[in-house]
Amino acid sequence: MAEKKEALFSKKNRKLLSDPLDSANPISVQVLGICSALAITVQIEQAFVMSLSVLAVMIFGNIIVSILRNLIPSRIRIIVQLVVVAALVILVDEVLKAFLPDVSEKLSVFVGLIISNCIIMGRLEAFALGNKIWPSFLDAIGNAIGYAWILVAVALFREVLGSGKFWGIQIIPESFYELGYMNNNMMILPPMALITVALIIWAQRSRNKDLIEEN
Amino acid sequence: MAINKNSNGYTFGFAVLMVAVVGTLLAVASQGLKSRQDKNATDKKMISILSAINVEATRDNAQEMYTKYVVDSKIISGKDLSANPFDIDIKKEFRDKNLELTDRNYPLYICEKEGNKYFVIPVIGTGLWGPIWGFVALESDYKTIYGATFDHKAETPGLGAEIKYTSYSDQYTGEVITDTTGTFQPIIVVKDGSGSGLNSKVDGITGGTITSKGVEEMTTRTLEVYANYFKSIN
């Protein structure tokens, strides 16, 4: 008799989705993908579009590597993963240029950055290479969303405090500026991205004591 | 027969097959999408030219609006005066270090809106992280700026990238690029806040000094060529 099939959303599979959002978050716990968290969190819109692109590349990358997991020669597996990610990113870029030119202009150089996003390579190597397609798919979604919420949260702080805008729309009223309020230009500069991420990490660890390292 | 997946033969075979498959896939995608991408780039250029004369066009009506407002175009100086001005890639020529300055082509777009003539001049330069470019429209007196639009490839959002917004480019409107004797006079980007008003100065962007200076450099370098041209034909 065939082995009883695991339910699509078993407890284990649900954990694949939920863990990366909090206790195994790629940015705040694993500290991966910091480079893009720094580069594209000045405006929320960019952070959001970048997150969507990473989600797309991550899902397809994880699925493809998972399908090929028993065929990939282990000695060149990193190169194979790199080729899969790079090919996907270029495809996404070409398709955006042809069908969504305005989005493509906004993303410009950042699309290329996706290739070097360590979260994607990390998940391919650590998860998709050793797991079936469905769990790999869930793992991709979980990690991409875990990445996305940090990115958007950081961008929210930086855009509101740095430019007084939300999604490009002025939200701090003109009267504030007349009273002497000023946008904090420091928020727009890269160091504040790291400091904001650090504040999120701090908040997360004081809430969840298990994440605190021993020493 | 079981295949030894750790053998050199298998590894090589896998690599060769992978490269062939991925290469083909990307080549097909690139060729298949090229015509759409080219059309998008053309539309974008038309929209930018039109926005310099304050005409709002969208990707849907760019071609139609362009033929309506742009009545003529020519190359005022350069190597290839007979080329189609619209097809001149000034970005490529700007980057080409082997091209003599005098060999660069300078296209000019002549537009007509509500009975008035405008001259649209493309400009190209370098910002902090990459190229910046734009279009400057002059009024029919050949010296008053009617409108300007700038764009960039990779300037910092919130800082240098602000050049593409009207809050920056509107400062150019009304400035004059020649003095009373007809000599070229550059539009300077200043830091001290004295840029408001019509005094050949515009305020730079706080935190975006290098980009602002890039705009000053490109407008100065390019507009001088056109100012001399207009002087010579009048």
Q: Which residues share a beta bridge with B77?
A: B106
CA distances to A26, A27, A49, A152, A158 from A45, in Å: 21, 19, 6, 8, 12
Q: Is the pLDDT of residue B120 over 80?
A: yes
Number of domains in chain A: 1
Measured CA to CA, the distance from residue B88 to residue B119 in angstroms comes to 17
Residue A185: list chain B partners with CB under 8 A.
Answer: 159, 206-207
Closest CA in chain B for residue A93: B30
Q: What pLDDT is stored for residue A6 in this prediction?
A: 66
Q: Are A151 and A88 in contact (CB under 8 A)?
A: no
- Residue B74, amino acid: K
- A14-18, A53-57, A194-198: least confidently modelled range: A14-18
Classify residue A118 as exposed, middle or buried by CB count within 10 Å of its CB (0-12, 13-18, 19+).
Answer: middle
Whether A72 maps to a domain, the answer reads: yes
Chain B residues with CB-CB distance to A163 below 8 A: 158
Domain of residue A86: give its range: 30-214
Distance CA B143, CA B185 (A): 10
How large a percentage of chain B has pLDDT more than 70? 99
**Would you say residue A3 has pLDDT above 60?**
no
Q: How confident is the model at residue A110 (pLDDT cuts 50, 70, 90)?
A: confident
* Whole-number pLDDT of residue A5: 61
Q: Is there a domain that residue A163 lies in?
A: yes
Cβ separation of A97 and B37 shorter than 8 Å? yes
Question: Do the beta carbons of residue A84 and residue A141 sit within 8 Å?
Answer: no
pTM, rounded to two decimals: 0.75
Q: Where are the domains of chain B?
A: 36-54+62-233
Whether the CB-CB separation of B204 and B169 falls below 8 Å is answered with no
Residues of B in contact with A42 (CB under 8 A): 156-158
Q: Is A4 a domain residue?
A: no
What is the Rg, in whole angstroms, of the alpha carbon atoms belonging to chain B? 23
B125 pLDDT band (50/70/90 cuts)?
Answer: very high
Contact criterion met (CB < 8 Å) for B130 and A76? no
Whether A144 is covered by a domain: the verdict is yes
Q: Is B154 close to A99, i.e. CB distance below 8 A?
A: no
Six-digit token pair at A2? 């065939």
Model ipTM?
0.71
* pLDDT tens-digit map of B32-88: 999 998 999 899 999 999 998 988 888 888 888 998 898 888 888 777 777 788 888
DSSP-based three-state secondary structure for A73: coil
Q: How confident is the model at residue B148 (pLDDT cuts 50, 70, 90)?
A: very high
Q: Determine what percent of chain A is predicted with pLDDT higher than 70.
A: 94
| DSSP 8-state secondary structure symbol assigned to residue B222 | H
Angstroms from A160 CA to nearest CA on chain B: 11
3-state DSSP assignment of residue B209: helix
Start-to-end C-alpha separation, chain A: 51
Which residue is listed with tokens 């930086």?
Answer: A158
Alpha carbon B130 to its chain centroid, in Å, reads 12
Pick the residue from chain A with its C-alpha nearest to B30: A94
Q: Is residue A16 part of a domain?
A: no
**Is residue A77 situated within a structural domain?**
yes
Q: How high does pLDDT run on average in chain A?
A: 83
Residue A154 corresponds to which amino acid? V
Enumerate the residues of chain B whose CB falls inside 8 A of the CB of residue A97: 33, 37, 40
| Confidence at residue B216, expressed as pLDDT on a 0 to 100 scale | 94
A172 is written with which tokens?
A: 């701090």
**Cross-chain residue pair B22–A72, CB shorter than 8 Å:** no
Residue A15 lies in a domain: no
Smallest Cα distance from B171 to chain A, Å: 20
Is residue A8 a part of any domain in this protein? no
Q: Is it the case that residue A92 has pLDDT exceeding 70? A: yes
For the record, the structure tokens of B130 come out as 């990459």
